Structure 1
């Protein structure tokens, strides 16, 4: 028999677990939702993270020790007191389940997991006031995660029963000894909230040391095709996943140091000749073989990419392949290493793109009045600034398997980095959009939203479909359809530059 200790997240009490707990008990397991001080019952002055750790420990200690496994489940904020409690009672916990939750780190407060960046900054400034964070209004829950799958009744109930979050629970640093790190764990990813197993594997492949532990065989993964509150949107499915997690089931990631290179470091799908390149700051320049100034293309990588990932994007085969291809066609190509290491870095990355454009246009070998910008993957959000107010020298904007609206859990500020909105002001700027058929549903939805908005506003968008291709297909496949898609996109961009 497994006993599940269920720790809720922001603003929520034990009520959110009722349906899931009923499913677990019907399956013969035990279910123990934790009443967190201030979120269940009356508010108590001085409530902080340690208060909630004590709440979880009290439930852990109340469960008998007659051989029953205890699985600790933490949902978003709830993973912080859950992991801290497991760290202090490692012998009582068989597994920790991160339910659409991050990886808490010693010394880091739960504030770091607040998705809304502007709100994080505001709360950090209130560290001494001992107050509370008001719960969201009905139409504000999306600031905290995707509400996909929630019925109107469930959203109404979530709003009606929400409680203010004591600020001390967000601002007090987490304290861990490392004992919890040795416990088996499971991540349940709610894909409508923006993260799936494929994305996590890609992050592990980048070589980020902080994520290598995710490839440990004791760590398993599940996906649920729903938003951030699966205990309300699909409680029966969640219960089945929790039972399977308790049994040690689930997907396991592949370690980054395998014999085969990770996907982003495999060869480019086209055989293009080597070209000379010049490195200046964050920009690699591939000059064209021409005496007079030539048009130029700046290739902007996606992300976020871990700060210590090596090699950096401007040395990735796909980007160097595109740049050599363009230079071989008689234009100046440039590849930028911008500083998009976290979703909070989009403003800084946008500055890097603007600076790279200035560098490119100032080069005497470049025709400053004929520039194209080409964005990939998560770099697609950086296209918004250029769509919003296209300068006359920008002759074309290309986007390949882009993200064109912030994903649900990214917490980007309103009004910027939203190409789906910026395209309304793109005017006559040509856009060459390459779409892959095997895209994740969350990213594909942003592309479709962009296309709809572009059509509504009469934007000039050329769509190139690659039905059987995946995200970052240029180093994953070498079939003729994929090769032709790259050639087609390059021809279209160069045609606009030369016009």
Structure 2
């Protein structure tokens, strides 16, 4: 028998598991839902301090109860914030736990508080303000209003009645649970685990694999063969939106099934390090600060195109993005056409880094325009993937020297699990002010649904405003098609978009 111990996330309690628990029980499993102190209708004892350690104790108590009374393999399931007390408890009872399931949650680390997993900067600031005003040991964060749940994760698929009930039963979150660092001895590392990713909330297996490929140290354990992954095509609350599918997935996870990631040092290079799909001659390269200039053979001040990598990219990734074959390939192609191709390193290391990444891009533009080998009045900016949001300020107020803006498979709005990135980064709003600026957008037909939605919303806004936009379609292309789909159709698309960008620069 499997005994599932289900731990809910912020503001919630055992009630969210009702339907999923019923299905697991019907499948023959023992199911326990953990009432965390101060949440789910469990009041705190007078004078008691509710923090992460007290929630860990709540989970430990249920583990011990199951271990005493039931000859079963214990599977701990943590949703959202719930993964923090789950990990703390598993670290203290590692010998009793068969598997941990991370249900659309972060990947907590020793010494890091749960607040670090909250992507929305404004929400983090609200927590810190309340802690400063009221004291972190007693302060609480009020639960969201009905229309604000999406700030904590996508509500895609949640029926209106379930959202009403979620709001009605929600309780304030004790700030100590968010501010107290998680303390782990390392024992939990011996416990196999599974990750369940809710794709409508913005993350999927391909994205996690890409992060592992980039060499981020904290994620390398995800490629352990004892670790498996599942995807659910729903929002952040699968126990409310897809209880049948969630129950089946939890049963599979308990059995050790699921997708296994490839390690970063696998024999085949990761997508971002695969050769560019065109064979292009190398150009002389000059490195200045955070840019590389790929110089054409033509004399005199030449137009320039600045190529911005996507992300987030871990700060320790090597080689850095300006040396990735795809970025270098486009820069070499530009140089072969008589244009200075510029690859740029910017500090988009996390979804909270857009402001400094945008500042890095602006600094790179000024650096390149001041170079005597560059025609400062003929510049193009080219954004890839996650850097698409940075295009907004250039669309909102295009300078006269900006001759073209291009974007390959861009993310044009924050994904649901990114929180509020800021009004500065809304290309769909900015395009109304782009005037006659030529915009060239490469759209891939096999884009992830969550990114594709942002692209279509941007294109809809562009059409409504009468923007000067050209769409280059790659119907059978995936995100990063230049690396993962080196087909004739992909090569044709690269030639087409390069002709368009070069045409606007040299006209």
**TM norm structure 2:** 0.97
2:169 equivalent among 155, 161, 166: 161
Aligned to 1:36: 36
- 1:350-382 alpha-carbon deviations (Å, 9 max, x no partner): 000000000011111111111110000001111
- 1:17-73 alpha-carbon deviations (Å, 9 max, x no partner): 000000100111011111011112254352111111111111111114553101000
Matches within 5 A, 1:229-308: 229-308=237-316
2:147 equivalent among 139, 147, 152: 139
Aligned to 2:98: 94
How big is the shift at 1:392?
A: 1.2
1:68 paired to 2:78? no
How big is the shift at 1:291?
A: 2.4
* 5+ long unaligned stretches in structure 1: none
1:490 equivalent among 489, 498, 506: 498
How big is the shift at 1:292?
A: 2.2
SS of the counterpart of 1:447? helix
Q: 2:298 touches 2:338 (CA, 8 Å); kept in 1?
A: yes
How big is the shift at 1:125?
A: 4.0
Aligned to 2:122: 118
How big is the shift at 1:388?
A: 1.4
Q: 1:189 touches 1:221 (CA, 8 Å); kept in 2?
A: yes
Q: 2:352 touches 2:421 (CA, 8 Å); kept in 1?
A: no
1:50 paired to 2:58? no
SS of the counterpart of 1:94? strand
Q: 1:115 touches 1:143 (CA, 8 Å); kept in 2?
A: no
SS of the counterpart of 1:297? strand
1:452 paired to 2:455? no
Aligned to 2:2: 2
Q: 2:50 touches 2:174 (CA, 8 Å); kept in 1?
A: yes
Matches within 5 A, 1:474-485: 474-485=482-493
Q: 2:306 touches 2:341 (CA, 8 Å); kept in 1?
A: yes
Q: 1:397 touches 1:431 (CA, 8 Å); kept in 2?
A: yes
Q: 1:434 touches 1:463 (CA, 8 Å); kept in 2?
A: yes
How big is the shift at 1:422?
A: 1.6
1:382 paired to 2:386? no
Aligned to 1:59: 62
Matched residue count: 499
Aligned to 2:364: 356
How big is the shift at 1:492?
A: 0.4
- 1:165-210 alpha-carbon deviations (Å, 9 max, x no partner): 0000000111000111110000000000110001111111111121
Q: What is the CA–CA distance in structure 2 between the aligned matches of 1:388 and 1:150, rounded to whole Å?
A: 35
Which segment drifts farther, 372-381 or 467-476?
Answer: 467-476
Aligned to 1:331: 339
Aligned to 1:20: 20
SS of the counterpart of 1:146? coil
- 1:470-493 alpha-carbon deviations (Å, 9 max, x no partner): 111112232111001001001001
Which segment drifts farther, 384-393 or 76-85?
Answer: 384-393
Which segment drifts farther, 70-79 or 420-429?
Answer: 420-429
* 5+ long unaligned stretches in structure 2: none
1:190 paired to 2:194? no
Q: What is the CA–CA distance in structure 2 between the aligned matches of 1:127 and 1:28, rounded to whole Å?
A: 44
Q: What is the CA–CA distance in structure 1 between the aligned matches of 2:97 and 2:294, rounded to whole Å?
A: 56
Q: What is the CA–CA distance in structure 1 between the aligned matches of 2:422 and 2:331, rounded to whole Å?
A: 33
SS of the counterpart of 1:84? helix
SS of the counterpart of 1:81? helix
Structure 1 segments (4+ residues) deviating >4 Å:
none
Cα RMSD between the aligned structures?
A: 1.1
Which segment drifts farther, 41-50 or 348-357?
Answer: 41-50
How big is the shift at 1:461?
A: 1.1
How big is the shift at 1:122?
A: 3.2
